[in-house]
Amino acid sequence: METVHLNERSAAQLVRPILAETDVNSTTRFPTRNPYRLAMAQPRQSRSQSSSTGSNADILSINDAIDRLLDIDGAIGAAIVDYESGMTLGTGGGRDLDMELAGAGNTEVVRSKKNILEDLGVNDRIQDLLISLEAQYHLIRMCEQHDDIFIYVVIDRNRGNLGLARRMIDQIDKKLELE
Q: Please report the pLDDT score of residue 39 as a whole number.
A: 30
Residues 50 and 74 in one domain: yes
Q: Please report the pLDDT score of residue 79 as a whole number.
A: 97
Q: Is residue 2 part of a domain?
A: no
* 155: enclosing H helix or E strand: strand 149-156
Q: Please report the pLDDT score of residue 58 as a whole number.
A: 83
Q: How confident is the model at residue 95 (pLDDT cuts 50, 70, 90)?
A: confident
Q: Measured at the alpha carbon of residue 125, what is the angle toward residues 82 and 72, in degrees to the nearest 5?
A: 60
Q: DSSP letter at 5?
A: -
Contact 62/178 with Cβ under 8 angstroms?
A: yes
Segment 9-22 shows an average pLDDT of 45
Could you give the number of structural domains in the chain? 2
Q: Is residue 154 part of a domain?
A: yes
Q: Which residues contact 18 (CB under 8 A, 6 or more apart)?
A: 31
Residues 27 and 84 in one domain: no
User: Does the pLDDT of residue 151 top 80, yes or no?
Assistant: yes
What are the backbone angles phi and psi of residue 46, rounded to the nearest 5°? -75, 165
Residues 65, 177: Cα–Cα separation, whole Å:
9
> If DSSP codes are grouped into helix, strand and coil, which group holds residue 138?
strand
Task: Compute how many other C-beta atoms are within 10 angstroms of the C-beta atom of residue 109.
Answer: 16
Residues 54, 96: Cα–Cα separation, whole Å:
37
Q: Please report the pLDDT score of residue 56 as a whole number.
A: 56
Residues 56, 26: Cα–Cα separation, whole Å:
37
Q: Is residue 53 part of a domain?
A: yes
Q: How confident is the model at residue 28 (pLDDT cuts 50, 70, 90)?
A: very low
Residues 134, 141: Cα–Cα separation, whole Å:
20
Q: Please report the pLDDT score of residue 145 as a whole number.
A: 86
Residues 72 and 115 in one domain: yes
User: Does the pLDDT of residue 53 top 70, yes or no?
Assistant: no
What pLDDT, in 10s, does the model give residues 102-116? 999 999 999 999 999
Percent of the chain residues topping a pLDDT of 70 = 68
Structural domain boundaries enclosing 54: 46-175
Write the CATH number for 144.
3.30.450.30
What pLDDT, in 10s, does the model give residues 61-90? 999 999 999 999 999 999 999 999 999 999
Q: Is the full-model pTM beyond 0.75?
A: no
For the chain, the first-to-last Cα distance in angstroms comes to: 67
Give 99 or 46, the one with higher predicted confidence.
99
Q: Is residue 3 part of a domain?
A: no
